[in-house]
Amino acid sequence: MGETTRVLITGGAGFLGSHLTDRLLEAGHEVVVFDNLITGREDNLAHVFGHGRFRFVRQNVTEFLYLPGPLDAVVHFASPASPIDYLRMPIPTLKVGSLGTHNALGLSLAKHARFLLASTSEVYGDPQIHPQPETYWGHVNPVGPRGVYDEAKRFAEAITMAYHRYHGLDTRIVRIFNTYGPRMRPDDGRVVSNFIVQALRGESLTVYGQGDQTRSFTYCDDLIDGILRLLLHDDTGPSASNDAAAGSDGAPDIHLPVNIGNSVEFTVADLAREVLTLTGSRSEIERRPLPIDDPKVRQPDITRARALLHWEPRVPLRAGLERTIPYFRESIAQAGSS
């Protein structure tokens, strides 16, 4: 891609899309955001409204997409991503992963723009291989409640690879592992936001199941750094082969999925303890039933991101929580005063 690029971010008003918008604007690029605001918030972008290189369009990406002018890249972030959101909106989730991805790919093709899909560690389901390399095909229940998200993203990956193989489109796929940080909604429902908000309000921390299930938590700045490296990487390398995470000549293939996540694994109970320590809260722990098909373990194998992108997570959980807690403190104070 050239020096100054024009990038469309679908879902750019969301937690991660808005951070990516900031980073691209800071680097001198032009950003157009499409978002229907079902989980995204204009507040996340309030500070860039009026910026000369920024434009916001309220748009449902499952409907036909039109954008005049040239475009260098399309980053497809649009989708509910928290379990409570996709369980509440199963059909919009399936539609944005399928129809929305198809529309975003079609727009990329028409504009000769690079395409980057935000995929997920959920493609591995409740994994039977640990940690998870990109070559693992996963263990997903297609008809369980989480299947609406997992299968939508698996379809999105499949159609992205088809556009690459059939149309020669320059595509990238990032598999995002549990990410947290400022701009998550206080009612987002995910474990980091729930625990911090509960601790700050003096409510019990809701631990689902025994709390011995694991996740590997990535601070948002680390994740965005990895995504930018993948997006801006100019070595298009060999064409994708049908096997492994390497091209037909064995070289790493930029078009095949890349895990981006912190590889340090914690139990949910560890996280609850850490949040209580860092907030100084005296909240109790309250056990709730484990959701259906909740993955028991999750940890990325990031060998490929290290080799291909020279990417390494830099922010350990404690430091990331220390940056995130003040944001939630302020959000709660604002909600209380309005």
Q: Catalytic pick from 124, 149, 163, 180? A: 149
Check the CA dihedral 113-45-93-192 and report its sign: positive
Nearest distance from residue 20's CB to ligand UDP, in Å? 20
Q: Is 249 exposed, middle or buried (0-12, 13-18, 19+ CB in 10 A)?
A: exposed
190 touches ligand UDP (CB under 6 A): yes
Which C-beta is closer to ligand UDP: that of 125 or that of 247? Answer: 125
Q: How many chain residues interact with ligand UDP (CB under 6 A)?
A: 14
Of 44-52, 157-165, 186-194, 248-256: span binding ligand UDP (CB under 6 A): 186-194
How far is Cα 152 from Cα 78, in angstroms, rounded to an integer? 12
Site for ligand UDP in 204-223 (CB under 6 A): 206-208, 213, 215
291 touches ligand UDP (CB under 6 A): yes
> Cβ distance 298 to 132 under 8 Å?
yes
Nearest distance from residue 291's CB to ligand UDP, in Å? 5
How far is Cα 99 from Cα 77, in angstroms, rounded to an integer? 14
Of 110-118, 238-246, 288-296, 324-332: span binding ligand UDP (CB under 6 A): 288-296
Beta bridge partners of 125: 139
194 touches ligand UDP (CB under 6 A): yes
Question: Cα 81 to the chain's mean position, in Å?
Answer: 7
178 touches ligand UDP (CB under 6 A): yes
Nearest distance from residue 303's CB to ligand UDP, in Å? 22
H runs (alpha helix) in 280-316: 303-309
Q: What are phi and psi of 31, to 5 degrees?
A: -130, 130
> Which member of 191, 227, 246, 256 binds ligand UDP (CB under 6 A)?
191
> Cβ distance 74 to 102 under 8 Å?
no
Site for ligand UDP in 89-108 (CB under 6 A): none
The Cβ-side half-sphere exposure at 110, using a 13 Å CA radius, reads 13
Nearest distance from residue 288's CB to ligand UDP, in Å? 7
299 touches ligand UDP (CB under 6 A): no
Site for ligand UDP in 245-274 (CB under 6 A): 268
> Cβ distance 32 to 7 under 8 Å?
yes
Q: Is 163 a catalytic residue?
A: no
Of 32-40, 47-55, 287-295, 309-317: span binding ligand UDP (CB under 6 A): 287-295
CA distances from 30 to 43, 47, 110, 132 (A): 20, 15, 19, 35
Nearest distance from residue 121's CB to ligand UDP, in Å? 7
Nearest distance from residue 247's CB to ligand UDP, in Å? 31
> Which member of 294, 316, 323, 327 binds ligand UDP (CB under 6 A)?
294
Which C-beta is closer to ligand UDP: that of 32 or that of 196? Answer: 196
CB within 8 A of 192, min separation 6: which ones?
178, 180, 184, 217, 271, 275, 321, 324
> Cβ distance 21 to 34 under 8 Å?
no
Point out which residues bind ligand UDP (CB under 6 A): 83, 178, 190-191, 194, 206-208, 213, 215, 268, 290-291, 294
| Residues recognised as catalytic | 149
